[in-house]
Amino acid sequence: MSKTIATENAPAAIGPYVQGVDLGNMIITSGQIPVNPKTGEVPADVAAQARQSLDNVKAIVEAAGLKVGILKRTSLKPPCL
């Protein structure tokens, strides 16, 4: 059985999707944009944007009761530049 993961520490879903899903033995997070959930701002430079996106993923992982240190696999798909 799956469980929806939601947290105020990552940007809210803007469309018909959820921040994350807990499948029991695995969690899946949706793609994260570089928006600071507290301010709504996007950092100016690409390095800070990458950091913000990863911080958002971390917040979702932690909302599932896990820690990023136990992750076995991640997939990053940057947009075409």
Residue 81 has pLDDT above 70, yes or no: no
Mean pLDDT of the chain: 92
Q: What is the mean pLDDT of residues 62-72?
A: 90
Residue 39 has pLDDT above 70, yes or no: yes
- Torsion, Cα of 61, 65, 71, 75 (10° steps): -20
Complete domains list, the chain, with CATH: 3-70 (3.30.1330.40)
Residue 50, number of CB atoms within 10 A of its CB: 14
Q: In this predicted model, what pLDDT tens digit does every residue of 18-30 receive, in sequence order? A: 999 999 989 999 9
Q: What is the mean pLDDT of residues 30-40?
A: 95
Residue 14 has pLDDT above 90, yes or no: no
